[in-house]
Amino acid sequence: MSLKLEYLRKFDKRIEIVKDENIESQLCKIPEKWWEVLMEKDFAIKKNKVIKIWNDVSGIELRNTIQYLSENLVSLDLLYDGTIYSLLYGIEAGDGDIAYYEGKFGLDLNKNSELKSRWKDMPKSIQRFYEDLHNGFYYYASHSMGLVPEDEITYLAEYDWGILDELKESVEVDMASSFGFFSNGMGAYVVIDSNNCLDEEATLWFKDRKPKYGVNFWDIVDEWIVLGIQF
C-alpha cells in the first residue's frame, strides 16, 4: 500500500486510488469534460486542462483559488469509495507539505431534500460550481475549509444554535431557507439565504458569536480556501 493511500484510509477505509491502467474503463461514470484530463499522462498538460475547466466554470468567483492551484498543484488522482468517484488534488501548502483536497463528481440533491426544494433559488454561480465543476471542494481529512458536498451542507433550521439565546436582536436571515455551503470546521459557515441572495449576498454564521451580514459569498469562500491550503 502506498503512503498516500495509507494516509487517505485513515479517514475512509473504503477509499481506492484508481490505477492509471484502469481509468479508461471508468470514464463512462465520470462527466465527459473530465475524460481528457484523466487520460492525459503528461502532468503539466493535465494540470493546464484542469485549470481551464476551473476557469471556464468559476474563473471570476474563484480567481485566487485557481491562481493558487495553477502555481502549487503537484498531483491529481482519481478516487473511488465504492459508490462515488472524486478527484484528489495534491497541493503544496505554505509549509511545503502536501495538502489533499477532494472534489466529488456528480451532484445528487436527493441526499438533501431541504436543499433540493430551494436549489433553483440559489445564485446561479453556486449552481454552476456544484453542477459543472465539483460536488464540493474541501480538505480531504476534515471535509472542511471548502465548499462541502450536498449531503454535508448545513441547513440552519435543523440545529439548535445556542448563540440565538445570546443575541439581543433578531437574526437577519430566515433559518428555514438558509444553508451553510462552506465550513471552516470550527463552527463558522458561509451561509446563503435562498430568500435573500441577490448579488450573491451571504452571511458569516458562527456557532458562538454574532453573525456578520451582507458579505459576498465568493469573496469569503475564495479567500478562506486559499488561507486553508496555505496554513
What are the pLDDT digits (tens) for 164-208? Answer: 878 777 888 999 999 999 999 999 999 999 999 999 999 999 988
- Give the span between the Cα atoms of 212 and 200, in whole angstroms: 15
pTM listed for this prediction: 0.95
Average pLDDT, the chain: 95
146 and 117 Cβ atoms separated by less than 8 Å: no
- Residue 64 has what pLDDT? 98
Name residue, grid cell 495509507.
Answer: 6
Residue 183, sorted as left (phi over 0), alpha (psi -120 to 50) or beta, turns out to be: beta
- Residue 168 has what pLDDT? 73
- Give the span between the Cα atoms of 147 and 135, in whole angstroms: 8
What are the pLDDT digits (tens) for 74-119? Answer: 999 999 999 999 999 999 998 889 999 999 999 999 999 999 999 9
- Give the span between the Cα atoms of 194 and 209, in whole angstroms: 22
- Residue 228 has what pLDDT? 94
- Give the span between the Cα atoms of 107 and 210, in whole angstroms: 32
What are the pLDDT digits (tens) for 34-49? Answer: 999 999 999 999 999 9
- Residue 182 has what pLDDT? 97
Which residues touch 159 (CB under 8 Å, ≥6 apart)? none
